[in-house]
Amino acid sequence: MDWYKSKTILIIALLITNLILLGIYFSKTAKVDESLSPAFIKETERVLDVAGIKLDVEIPKEEPGMVTPFARTVVFKIQELNDSFFDGKGEVSIRGDDSFEILYRDGRLELYEGRRFIYWNYREGSGEIDSLEAAKDYAEAYLKDKDFFSEATKLEYAYEKNGEYYLFFANLQEGNYVEECDMILVLDKEGLVKMEKEWIELEEAGVEKTFISPAPKALRALASKDELRGKTIISIDLCFYLPSGINEEEETGREVRGKTLPAWRVLFKDGTKIILSDN
Mean of pLDDT values over 97-111: 91
pLDDT at 14: 55
Which range, of 163-167, 209-213, 232-236, averages the lowest pLDDT?
209-213
Residues in a beta bridge with 116: 112, 198
pLDDT at 27: 45
Strand spans (E) along the chain: 54-55, 65-67, 70-73, 91-94, 99-104, 107-112, 116-121, 153-161, 164-173, 176-179, 182-188, 191-198, 200-202, 209-211, 232-241, 246-249, 254-259, 261-268, 273-276
Q: Is pLDDT at 253 greater than 50 in this prediction?
A: no
pLDDT at 258: 87
